[in-house]
Structure 1
Amino acid sequence: MITAYNKEHVGDTLMVIIANDKEVENVVERKGNVARIQTIEGTVVAWNFFHISDYLTIEGTGQISLGEEQVAELNRLVKQAGFEDELVVDLEPKIVVGFVKSCKKHPDSDHLSITQTEVADGEVLQIVCGAPNVKAGQKVVVAKPGAMMPDGLIIWPGVLRGVESFGMICSAKELRLANAPEKKGILELPFDAVVGEAFEVGV
């Protein structure tokens, strides 16, 4: 569950993204201050909660984290509006410190690499990376599936040149860090960075 809020550009609306709609045609059903977005087949992909400040105190801009009490309030609004769905709390950080355990060349590309990258204790993701400086043994920043980047890009599982990829190894520029170099390449972290810890991005 991805939650995003940008009052300046979108208005007082909390956007909750459940799944990748893959740019297919969607059906929007609005009841009061709650709108449910579904695919034509009936899969719920997102919710919009309008005038959200009447119900919740939202801190921050862009992707935000909601606690159990806040999600419970959203579920109350969903039921009050007449929908039967229920949102599930997701407290897991999506942009984290990772460790590149292995790195090999993509068999069908001269610039892509296939990595096995640890993102938590015992959790390893296969991530295809196009950065020229990626290599085994690095501590890096990983945007896991469900992450929203500072520019609004949402990270979903994908396939690059026939190889599945479950996240993105990030550059300082993609993370909007201060004084990020223009040169292409991932951000390499100090080796004492703790795998699985949330990484604070820029705005």
Structure 2
Amino acid sequence: MLIASYNPKQNGDILVVVLGETTGEQNVEYKNDIVTISETDNGEIIGYNFLNASHILPKLTDMNGQIDLNADDVTKLNDALKAQNLADNIVLDDDPKFVVGYVKSVSDHPKSDHLKITETEVNDGKSLQIVSGSPNMQANIKVVVAKVGAMMPDGLIIFPGELKGEDSNGMICSGRELHIPNAPQKPGALILPDNYEVGSEFDFDNASTLFE
């Protein structure tokens, strides 16, 4: 997993890099302009904060929100870590996180009267079990899937999880959750037109006209 975000108005010149989910207490270590966040119990590094980040990645100037890191960016961040004798363990993740999915099947959740358990095909023909509370959930529809490792427009990060005891590996999104212009401001999966290709990366720019 590799998620990067940058919000200079709120946080200053700090690049937040997330490598994994927090599952317990955190250990925070400062070394010059780099903050390392790790799990207290096992020492696993789950993220970094790079202070004065625009000195490492000049492209951050005038950017805000989630940052798409390329191979060159990852190299520069790892070089900054090595310069402080820190673990250079940031690995490029260029797998699309918002994709067109196809809901193959829907079943009732055994412990909920409103949740549904879906088998949803995503890219490379792979299917995921995703629990959804969308009132319009049904089989044989095309939807937008936020895969594990996605950052939603509101900053929510999608981690593996479970809902009432059932595994859920991703999120089937509404137009409202995706911040698509003019999307209905109510719950309900965004059902895509049939011309969307299952497994393709969801194009937010092209989707801006879906509700015109």
> TM-score, normalising length from structure 2?
0.90
Q: Is contact 2:117–2:130 with CA below 8 Å preserved after alignment?
A: yes
1:62 is aligned to 2:62: no
Aligned to 2:170: 167
Alignment match, 2:101: 98
Match for 1:149: what amino acid? M
Paired-residue identity, %: 48
SS of 2:30's equivalent? strand
Number of residue-to-residue matches in the alignment = 201
Amino acid of the structure 2 residue aligned with 1:19: G
Give distance in 1, aligned partners of 2:63 and 2:98. 16
Cα pair 2:125 2:199 within 8 Å, conserved: no
Distance in 1 between residues matched to 2:46 and 2:12, nearest whole Å: 20
Structure 1 residue 61, shift from structure 2 partner: 2.5
Q: Indicate yes or no: 2:82 matched with 1:46.
A: no
Deviation, 1:14, is 0.9
Q: Is the 8 A contact 1:36 1:46 kept in 2?
A: yes
Q: Deviation string for 1:52-84 (max 9, x for gaps)?
A: 111211274222211111100000001001112
Partner of residue 82 from structure 2, selected from 79, 83, 91: 79
**Corresponding residue for residue 209 of structure 2:** none
The whole-number CA distance in structure 2 between the counterparts of 1:149 and 1:43 is 25
What is the SS of the residue equivalent to 1:76?
A: helix
For residue 35 of structure 2, what is the aligned residue in structure 1?
Answer: 35
Unaligned runs of 5+ residues in structure 2 are 206-212
Paired residue type of 1:25 = E
Q: 2:92 aligns with which of 73, 77, 89?
A: 89
Q: How far does residue 201 in structure 1 lie from its aligned partner after superposition?
A: 4.5
SS of corresponding position for 2:129: strand
TM-score by length of structure 1 reads: 0.94
Matched residue SS, 1:125: strand
Give the Cα separation in 1 of the matches to 2:98 and 2:65. Answer: 13
Does residue 122 in structure 1 map to residue 137 in structure 2?
no
The yes-or-no answer on 1:9 pairing with 2:10 is yes
